[in-house]
Structure 1
């Protein structure tokens, strides 16, 4: 148990809880003095930003007078640096956001953003006019936000830096009415407040003011003056240092004091931080004091400056020479390594030691804990996860594995899962990577976010291996790597770079070549982009990028090959608005699908452009059809028939169509039809002008003749007949029914006597019958030559005897039977038909 004793000897006891502070890294940087610099450390083992503090007079040693912003990983390996140039005055504060963007706020309210490679992210954003006119003097960061105070003691909040620059980016909080600056301030994050808005705590006099968007509230009267305040990670508690040297832990609503501790010094600490939720750290020049709710505090002494970095499960302590991690010793670790421990986990760990030394004591230990072996194995596995030392991890896992050999009801996947997690953690903890995550931090951060951070730090190979190991999508890693290579390989020829990229990109199926090509285009390598996009299998991604890089012809070819009409239209509209008309026509003429889609669209929305296209292609008949269609569309407009009846817009369109049809021998019929249509429209316009009735236009020739006769304009009707060579038969039919319509029986009789009607007298009879003029019909029935027609005509006007006589003359028994049925309700009439049928011998 000597090893266990040496391990536990490193612990410090705070009441009944043990704490340890192992060294994680010996810092690799040189000549960095934390006293002379402003430092911003990202949580979750993130990067460290360092810049010389211009508010202090310092000796420059051998370094340049130019201030440099330097970014290191947590092991002190430099990632990047840049010369700090800004005209906005003194740097007031800097901090890292959750996506590891470095935020720097200067006096005039300008917010500068840098990525992890010290590259300025444009554009810089201002906190507003009031911060510019009255300089920013203090700020408090949290997560992705900040609260700033200007010289007028007004407070401004940025809840999320990603929204900075929008209308809701900067919010002015209520005016607390201060005449002097507050002693200190702290922020309660929005996710922990009832209102969902940021709340700022200001130490003023003997009380605290709570300020938010809606107002100011006074809290904790008599609790102050407070010199230092910090809110716990869960937003429930406030650790504060009073003017008389007391540490107070209070609920954030100031309803109760959790505990109070009198410090040896009334001088406020330089830093105040929470260590988890169990204790509070106070740091003075040479001493770090850890205070808990019970028992005496624990003291650590330093002969160099330190920076405290709060984590979810402890505090990282950064000094000039090393990085340590102060945390509460986990219960599983205490159960194994506590001096004198006889827990099953301790005995199992001890059994492995005896087994290695081939001592029979190993078997004795196992017999003692046989019933508790599963919980001992679980404790060893759990304790392994909290260790940073690889050899100690290995020993604890061996102890768990040794116990599993004698226990059959222990889930094996727990052991495998821990091994998998530790491989990941050990890989990122290496000084070259410098991300000292604890297992609890890793679980809270999640594996995808860790992969994303490795990518941003350009650790692509490790990110790729971890993605493969954890079963995560590797495409994101390869994509980012490819974009990074394109940006950093400006001197490499496009052909060589393309070959190099494709060799790696093909390792991942489904890679988004279009996004890589888009990045190449933005980097000014259009030829490389064009070559890359050729490998993109998805047309919907490929085509827009081809258009973006000016490869319109290729884009149209790809779109038509895909068969996606929406994609083809997308390309067509792009080229349409970019190229001259004739060049556009030439482009689509060779692409049947594109041409047809263009024609379909233009027929509905742009006739003029379509006519230009047909003219350029020599398709005159298509232009003529369009003109003819336009003439019909024009008929729907009531204004179209106004003006000169001879030169109306519709007539002109039809005449143009006639002329174009005449250009081709294949469309003689259409040409003559258009000519007659124009002639008819002209005559109908004349008739409407002369009659002052808009009833002729767009009617047929027959309807025009009929309307003229109805109106009594027989001359106009004859003119239409003659002009359009209407046949005599049609003429008689039209005039007979037109005269019957106006009940001009004398004119009808006169018309019947002009000459023998070419259509016979049956239409005269039908016209009279339809008009219910039986007397008029009798004038024409005797003239019917066909006895059957005469019989049926008599029957229509109810003259049974005459109908029967005509039928008997025709000797048509079927007709007699049919006529008898029509008179079946009339007994006398029916008997006439019966008599004739008997006479003819028809049963």
Structure 2
């Protein structure tokens, strides 16, 4: 027993098939072969050893038209068409009778045509619907067109050569894309293509399946000839994924054909991975660089990196600027040793030296790289190696000298940290090292640094003066000022004292300033307006007097002094 549609039941015992309808009506069929039932949405397929039959309840629309003695609007419309074909006035009479029900009659004829398997009966019913539609102004005219399109598809697949006897309800549930898929699987590519084009589906799926099937079935055809056959059909679809067809060719053992096919793929994102899968690494790298997509380039680089030796990899990327630059950018962060090998293989010694120098700084960030740590030795060795590499090229004399002096400074700073047991020297500048030595009272070490790095006298005076002022050793500062005439004059002493907010100490050195402008500004900085005014008047600089007046704007008495002197200079003709 099986349901036959939604409201009928089909029974089978012995040789009898019994169908029972919704109202209790029944019909019997005799069958001399054993059968099995295959339920469908609108009926039952009865399968025997020699045949397959489809049993369904007669649709209501068909009953209303063809039932004996029927006077339904649809039946009268169908009869009106017959009278019209025989040029009988009875046709007009029938139409008048169903004028108010004409839309329902047209719809019933269309529905009945859809359920018919006989093509001539379909045509007749659709002609009746079209005839009635001509007298029905408010009926949607695209219904007949849609049914015609559906029936053309169904009639095509019902052909014995195709052998897919679908009913209209089954087709609606199945949908056109699924039907096309079944035709493809049955290798009915031409019909699938025509149906896809007819109902507006994407033809790419059909053409792609055909191409894959053609490759599988054409083992005897040479690659070049088969490529022409495939391209002739593949070009019918714009945006066709040649990569998918090429992948199938590769899986079928036709790697050369796959390489030729993938060359026609317009999308680099599909083309490059497939080229890698068929071992066309160099072509993949060319395509990736042409695309300008850095992700694709990195994909190819990592693939080649894993599969080839270091020298082969270096040779591959050396001639391709984008790939080389991207590799270098990546390796600078994650693969220092490998990057050094690359630079050595290409003779870029200065780049290796820079990497070594950078590694030395990374070691320097380790808190254990001082205090006599064993990390100090490796760091110096790295810098010395960098110096040696820089020295091999004349163009990098500056870098070579800088690396040499850096190593020398690190040794001295390391010795100072060991001797003082204070981790405050390493990685500081020469100036800071000198200042720190003086601040700690280690003048001999400071002189050693000065001598080793040829620090100028002017710079030495600035450093020592500020170092002594920092530790507020004013006696030592005064003694230092009297050792010999300072090469910079006494300005460093004045600046250091003022910065330390020691006005009394500053007064020891301000009078010794040779330039009256400097004396005036120094006096102004410690708030001595009269002395500043006297020094400014000696300089005979009206503009300086104006600036000094602004600095004493809150002091009325001081402002009047500057005004008086400025007026005096103006009277004397000095601007």
State TM-score, norm by structure 1.
0.65
Tell me what 2:82 maps to: 353
How many angstroms apart in 2 are the aligned matches of 1:747 and 1:764?
Answer: 12
**Aligned match for 1:544, one of 242, 262, 273:** 273
How many angstroms apart in 1 are the aligned matches of 2:505 and 2:43?
Answer: 118
CA contact (8 A) 1:645 1:689 kept: no
CA contact (8 A) 1:813 1:842 kept: no
Map 1:95-174; keep pairs closer than 5 Å: none
Shift of 1:293: 5.7
- Distance change >3 Å, CA 393–CA 656, structure 1 → 2: same
CA contact (8 A) 1:286 1:302 kept: yes
- The yes-or-no answer on 1:281 pairing with 2:32 is no
- The yes-or-no answer on 1:789 pairing with 2:543 is no
Q: List per-residue Cα deviations over 1:377-432 (Å, max 9, x = no partner).
A: 22111100001111111221222223334444332211111111000001111111
Tell me what 2:451 maps to: 722
CA contact (8 A) 2:268 2:291 kept: yes
Shift of 1:641: 2.9
- Distance change >3 Å, CA 333–CA 600, structure 1 → 2: same
- The yes-or-no answer on 1:590 pairing with 2:319 is yes
How many angstroms apart in 1 are the aligned matches of 2:284 and 2:537?
Answer: 85
Q: List per-residue Cα deviations over 1:349-384 (Å, max 9, x = no partner).
A: 222223333444333333333333332222111100
CA contact (8 A) 1:646 1:685 kept: no
Shift of 1:347: 1.8
Q: List per-residue Cα deviations over 1:195-218 (Å, max 9, x = no partner).
A: xxxxxxxxxxxxxxxxxxxxxxxx
Tell me what 1:633 maps to: 362
Tell me what 1:36 maps to: none
Q: List per-residue Cα deviations over 1:788-841 (Å, max 9, x = no partner).
A: 333333444444444444444444454455545555655666666677667777
**Aligned match for 2:389, one of 655, 660, 664:** 660
Secondary structure of 1:772's partner? coil
CA contact (8 A) 2:371 2:423 kept: no
**Aligned match for 2:153, one of 412, 421, 424:** 424
**Aligned match for 1:707, one of 436, 440, 446:** 436
- The yes-or-no answer on 1:329 pairing with 2:74 is no
How many angstroms apart in 2 are the aligned matches of 1:804 and 1:535?
Answer: 88
- Distance change >3 Å, CA 777–CA 281, structure 1 → 2: same
How many angstroms apart in 1 are the aligned matches of 2:263 and 2:559?
Answer: 93
Secondary structure of 1:780's partner? helix
How many angstroms apart in 2 are the aligned matches of 1:835 and 1:373?
Answer: 118
- Distance change >3 Å, CA 739–CA 368, structure 1 → 2: same
- Distance change >3 Å, CA 362–CA 694, structure 1 → 2: same
Secondary structure of 1:524's partner? coil
How many angstroms apart in 1 are the aligned matches of 2:564 and 2:22?
Answer: 133
How many angstroms apart in 2 are the aligned matches of 1:342 and 1:528?
Answer: 68
- Distance change >3 Å, CA 350–CA 742, structure 1 → 2: same
Shift of 1:509: 1.4
Tell me what 1:650 maps to: 379
How many angstroms apart in 2 are the aligned matches of 1:561 and 1:822?
Answer: 66
- Distance change >3 Å, CA 779–CA 646, structure 1 → 2: farther
Which structure 2 segments of 5+ residues have no match?
none
Map 1:189-228; keep pairs closer than 5 Å: none
How many angstroms apart in 1 are the aligned matches of 2:398 and 2:455?
Answer: 18
Tell me what 1:203 maps to: none
How many angstroms apart in 2 are the aligned matches of 1:621 and 1:546?
Answer: 36
Tell me what 1:409 maps to: 138
CA contact (8 A) 2:197 2:203 kept: yes
**Aligned match for 2:182, one of 436, 453, 473:** 453
Q: List per-residue Cα deviations over 1:153-212 (Å, max 9, x = no partner).
A: xxxxxxxxxxxxxxxxxxxxxxxxxxxxxxxxxxxxxxxxxxxxxxxxxxxxxxxxxxxx
Of stretches 765-774 and 386-395 in structure 1, the one that deviates more from structure 2 is 765-774
Secondary structure of 1:324's partner? strand
**Aligned match for 1:736, one of 454, 465, 468:** 465
Q: List per-residue Cα deviations over 1:461-513 (Å, max 9, x = no partner).
A: 11001001111000000111111111122222222222211111111111111
Tell me what 2:210 maps to: 481
Which structure 1 segments of 5+ residues have no match?
1-271
How many angstroms apart in 2 are the aligned matches of 1:471 and 1:826?
Answer: 94
Tell me what 1:522 maps to: 251
CA RMSD of aligned residues (A): 2.2
- Distance change >3 Å, CA 531–CA 801, structure 1 → 2: closer
How many angstroms apart in 2 are the aligned matches of 1:365 and 1:837?
Answer: 125
Q: List per-residue Cα deviations over 1:665-715 (Å, max 9, x = no partner).
A: 111111111111111111111111111111111111111100100000000
**Aligned match for 1:570, one of 278, 299, 321:** 299
- Distance change >3 Å, CA 664–CA 363, structure 1 → 2: same
CA contact (8 A) 1:645 1:685 kept: no
CA contact (8 A) 1:642 1:648 kept: no
How many angstroms apart in 1 are the aligned matches of 2:564 and 2:231?
Answer: 107
Q: List per-residue Cα deviations over 1:94-115 (Å, max 9, x = no partner).
A: xxxxxxxxxxxxxxxxxxxxxx
CA contact (8 A) 1:641 1:648 kept: no
How many angstroms apart in 2 are the aligned matches of 1:817 and 1:557?
Answer: 72
CA contact (8 A) 1:646 1:682 kept: no
How many angstroms apart in 1 are the aligned matches of 2:219 and 2:569?
Answer: 116
- Distance change >3 Å, CA 644–CA 419, structure 1 → 2: closer
Tell me what 1:470 maps to: 199
CA contact (8 A) 1:640 1:649 kept: no
Secondary structure of 2:56's partner? strand
Tell me what 2:337 maps to: 608
Tell me what 2:48 maps to: 319
Of stretches 696-705 and 802-811 in structure 1, the one that deviates more from structure 2 is 802-811
CA contact (8 A) 2:2 2:10 kept: yes
Q: List per-residue Cα deviations over 1:734-765 (Å, max 9, x = no partner).
A: 10111111111111111111111101112212
Secondary structure of 2:488's partner? coil
- The yes-or-no answer on 1:623 pairing with 2:352 is yes
State TM-score, norm by structure 2.
0.94
Tell me what 2:238 maps to: 509
Secondary structure of 1:758's partner? coil
How many angstroms apart in 1 are the aligned matches of 2:15 and 2:374?
Answer: 107
Q: Which has the higher strand share?
A: 1
How many angstroms apart in 2 are the aligned matches of 1:720 and 1:703?
Answer: 11
Secondary structure of 2:2's partner? strand
How many angstroms apart in 1 are the aligned matches of 2:374 and 2:83?
Answer: 119
Map 1:366-377; keep pairs closer than 5 Å: 366-377=95-106
Map 1:221-236; keep pairs closer than 5 Å: none
Of stretches 395-404 and 362-371 in structure 1, the one that deviates more from structure 2 is 362-371
CA contact (8 A) 2:371 2:414 kept: no
- Distance change >3 Å, CA 349–CA 698, structure 1 → 2: same
Tell me what 1:533 maps to: 262
Tell me what 2:67 maps to: 338
How many angstroms apart in 1 are the aligned matches of 2:218 and 2:562?
Answer: 113
Tell me what 2:423 maps to: 694
Secondary structure of 1:328's partner? coil
How many angstroms apart in 2 are the aligned matches of 1:377 and 1:401?
Answer: 8
